[in-house]
Amino acid sequence: MKKGNLSLRLYQLAKWIDNQCTIADIGTDHGYLPYYLLDNQSICRAICCDINSGPLQNAKGTFSGARFKDKVDFRLGSGIEPLESSEVDYVVIAGMGGGLIVDILNKNISKSYSFKGFYLQPQTEQDVLRTWLLKNGFTIVNDFCVFEDEKYYEGLFVVPAKPLDTELPNGLFNEGDLIVYNQSSDKEFGHRIHRDSISIYKDYLAFKRRKYEMILSKLTEAGLSEKNSEKANLCREKLSDIDKLIQ
């Protein structure tokens, strides 16, 4: 399901972005998310950033015409480098690997701490990203999960070192709506799942379960060398974690 030019995974992020705030979209490509937010959610201002000039041109194309001329800015550069500290309320980094998102946040961590929060949508290495965030003073307020074009996508809303009882955007992150799912040390499976995502999340866990079962059976078929035994044990741990979460 698509919402105009917005994919479902970006729509899910957009839903949780406050009206009347300012945002920067890092790796904006076509600028669809900032356009949607200005068009539908009356945010105050958006800064579209990309490391490559081609995507930034695409974003300018999306915004062609005078409609949002005073509300949008386009900046070439890597990560949050094109932004000043605290220049926007929230920063979106979507459609990139978790490792790259870590590099972007880590490059200038005091600048990263200066924003109110980050909407992150890692395509891979979600566990690497969650582990880094928790080690570096960020609170994961919410994880979400969507299924689109035969694939599962994960997203997170995180705030720098802020207790959860402080004011959060949109009233959508009420404690009662967030279900602490994952108490284990494995950060692959998300942590605080929003009520809206629970049924997809359970399907996602079942999908992961099938994946680890398949890997385990292939390893067993191949014969358990020392290396394979380690991998097989890791699969068993993952399966046991998933079983606890599914219950």
| Minimum separation from the CB atom of position 78 to ligand SAM (A) | 4
Phi, psi (degrees; rounded to nearest 5) at 193: -100, 130
Contact between 43 and 17 (Cβ < 8 Å): yes
- Alpha-carbon gap, residue 77 to 117, rounded angstroms: 20
- State the minimum distance, in angstroms, from the CB of residue 56 to ligand SAM: 8
Tokens in use for 199? 């049924």
Q: How far is the CB of 29 from ligand SAM (least distance, A)?
A: 3
Q: What is the token pair recorded at 241?
A: 């974690």
- CB closer to ligand SAM, 26 vs 205: 26
User: Quick one: 78 or 136, whose CB is closer to ligand SAM?
Assistant: 78
How far is the C-alpha of 145 from the C-alpha of 195, rounded, in Å? 11
From the CB of 105, what's the least distance to ligand SAM, in Å? 11
Measure the CA–CA gap between 156 and 10, rounded to whole angstroms.
12
Using CA atoms, how far apart are residues 109 and 124, in angstroms rounded to an integer? Answer: 22
Which lies closer to ligand SAM via its Cβ, residue 77 or residue 137? 77
Question: Smaller CB distance to ligand SAM: residue 7 or 139?
Answer: 7
In the complex, least distance from residue 6 CB atom to ligand SAM, rounded to whole angstroms: 9
What is the C-alpha separation between 148 and 165, in angstroms, rounded?
33
120 or 178, CB closer to ligand SAM?
120
Q: How far is the CB of 30 from ligand SAM (least distance, A)?
A: 7
Q: Nearer to ligand SAM by C-beta: 55 or 117?
A: 55
- Distance in Å, CB of 214 to ligand SAM, minimum: 27
Binding residues for ligand SAM (CB under 6 A) = 10, 26-29, 49-52, 55, 78-79, 94-96, 104
What's the CA gap between 101 and 222, in Å, rounded?
35
Nearer to ligand SAM, 36 or 181 (CB): 36
> Per the structure block, which two tokens stand in for 76?
């070439």
Coil, helix or strand at residue 150: coil
- Cβ atoms of 62 and 40 within 8 Å: the answer is no
CA–CA distance, 21 with 51 (Å, rounded to integer)? 24
